[in-house]
Structure 1
Amino acid sequence: MIGKLYLIPTTLGDTAEPLEVMPLSVKKVIEQIDFYIVENEKSARRFIKKISPKKSQPSLHIMLLDKYAEELETTKYLDVCKEGINVGLLSEAGVPAIADPGASIVKLAHENNIQVVPLVGPSSILMAMMSSGMNGQNFAFNGYIPIDKGERKRVIKDLEKLSKEKNQSQIFIETPYRNEKMFADLKATLAPTTNLCIAADITLPTEYIKTMSIQNWKRHTPDLHKKPAIFIIQK
């Protein structure tokens, strides 16, 4: 029997109790798996211990999937599945393989006829879309917006135009320490009537989710500094 690849979600921040934002099935799977592919060993071990305090930490086999991981090495990460051993792909925050490097491991699993089992958990992208009041029937995730000011302005205008032409909500993210700069650029670039949703610290006690037109946002200044945030626009 071939082992399976479980896609294991994590919390979107440091919450008191992980099971407040994800189902018991995640805990059950973690208690059964000892082989994990993760971005950061320290935070992965901390999450596993938090959700399953009795699980033996020395028994864990951690395989790193970060910018230093060699491609040749990562192609061997699922070899243990041939021995009937299940492997968990653990996201750093939220769900694996969505705005996350884990997609390469999922692709590898399909290429080797290894069953992929996605588990339910918090996705900041979908939760922001759910709570935005914008078009949930037609939306696109665009990842990170360019840093260069000129190019960024062009991309923002292009997304606004695309939103209007296709009636499509446009979702994107930014590095937390550049959130305030992003907010300033959006106010300066978008049309006054374009709607903007900002969803920050989703599922955390400091959660902030608000949708308004740009003309109304110009009268508000939310605290976004170093907070994970999702931005959504719709014309």
Structure 2
Amino acid sequence: MSTITYQPRFISMEGIDGAGKSTHLPFIRSLLTQAGLEVVQTREPGGTPLGETLRAILLSQTMSAQTEAMLMFAARRENYLQVIAPALARGAWVLCDRFTDSSLAYQGGGRAMPDAELAQLQQIAIGPVQPDLTLLFDVPLEVAQARIGSSRELDKFEQEQADFHARVRQYYLQLAAANPQRYRLLDARHSIAELQAQLQQILQDFLHGARC
């Protein structure tokens, strides 16, 4: 186990449905734990008992964009207060499957909810909190939809039309372009082995920068 000490960091993973980001969560967690870090893994919506209840509603029930966003940020506030902030405070690293950028991309880009309204919800829920590193897994829409396929029951978002997912993807790319210091863009069309090699290099560089 490494004797190097690191400042606690918050890493998020983003991407449209079908980008394959969740496939790489165990690998990323393994790389961090091999560096001697305590890693707390969570997801959004979800992460807490209330968050998981809200997740089930959000992924299945039709509602207005504003209601959807408010429930997303409600779940996020609980996740931050109960899981993320305590973990960082004790020196752990946090690995989160989606965070605020998902709301910006899905409710803002996909649902066309005004950025100002989403910014208000963010301020109420968590203030200026942002991850230290965001890994964006990007694929063309047709690749993502082929991966989702029809082998299981699709949730509400996965069932959306192609133009919805195209808007979400475009918003993600805009976020990445606007935040180059935080974002790392990965072409998720590559093989798992190729992506893992890229992830290993990204995380090695990030760990180096987090040394105390």
TM-score bracket for this pair, using the shorter chain length: 0.3 to 0.5
User: What TM-score, normalized by structure 1, do the two folds share?
Assistant: 0.32
Structure with a larger share of its residues in helix: 2
Choose between structure 1 and 2 for higher RCO, CA contacts under 8 A separated by at least 6 residues.
2
Larger Rg belongs to: 1
Structure with a larger share of its residues in strand: 1
